[in-house]
Amino acid sequence: MMKQNSKKSGTKTALTILMLVIAAAVILTAGCTGTTSQPITQTPTPAATPEVQPTATEAAQVTAEATQTPATNGPIYAAGMIVTNGKGTLKVIGEYNPKTERYCTRTLMQDRDGNAYLLKDGSFKELGSDYDAYKSFEQLYNTVYDDLSAHTDAAEEVYNVNEKSGQRIPVYATNDRINLVGYLIPSDALTMDYLNAKTE
């Protein structure tokens, strides 16, 4: 009887050990039972699309549109620009005063060859004595004919209306154009400069 007890006891011990092994296996695999085993794949990141650069023509068109689009606030012309009313009259913007919001302008004259000139009017720096509110002036003179500041390659030359070249506008004492008193030249967006002919 003692042999049977020891046999039962050995079987019980073996069963207990087997149960512990099974329990341990169940516990270790319990976290994995809810998932299926699939290979891990990395989601490919989309390739960066190369930035399309505008062609030279497209870039020039965008620039032209930006310069032709009037600003919503403030003046659209700068000192040194020549503007027209479409009826043959050309005016040069001598100055823009941001405090008064007015342009100071002069009517541009020209000889038979198209060389521009002005007559002395005694105004400050010969910039002119016609002061116009920028909004009403821009409505009357709504086209830019030329911009003197763009002709830096011909800075020492007299401005020619026909050729659109040169930067200097001579100022004469009288209409016979014998006595040169000075020149108007571009300076910055707010004013042109006056060079006295005697100090040149």
Is the predicted pLDDT of residue 23 greater than 50, yes or no? yes
Is the predicted pLDDT of residue 78 greater than 90, yes or no? yes
pLDDT at site 7: 55
Predicted confidence band at 33 (pLDDT cuts at 50, 70, 90)?
very low
Q: Which amino acid is at 134?
A: Y
Is the predicted pLDDT of residue 87 greater than 70, yes or no? yes
Q: How many CB atoms lie within 10 A of CB 184?
A: 28
User: Which one is predicted more confidently, 115 or 37?
Assistant: 115
DSSP 70: P
Averaged pLDDT, 124-145: 92
Residue 62 contacts residue 172 (beta carbons within 8 Å): no
Q: Which residues pair with 14 in a beta bridge?
A: none
pLDDT digits (tens, 9 = 90+) for 140-191: 999 999 999 998 888 889 999 999 999 999 999 998 999 999 999 999 999 9
pLDDT at site 154: 85
Task: Tell me the C-alpha distance between 161 and 117, whole Å.
Answer: 10
For the chain, strand residue ranges (E) read 81-84, 90-97, 102-107, 109-110, 116-119, 130-133, 143-147, 169-172, 180-186, 192-196
Residue 173 contacts residue 181 (beta carbons within 8 Å): yes
Q: What is the mean pLDDT of the chain?
A: 79
Cα distances from 94 to residues 120, 130, 171, in angstroms, run: 14, 10, 13
Task: Tell me the C-alpha distance between 22 and 169, whole Å.
Answer: 105
DSSP 76: S
Is the predicted pLDDT of residue 111 greater than 50, yes or no? yes
Averaged pLDDT, 34-44: 48
pLDDT at site 62: 46
User: Which one is predicted more confidently, 70 or 186?
Assistant: 186
Is the predicted pLDDT of residue 56 greater than 70, yes or no? no
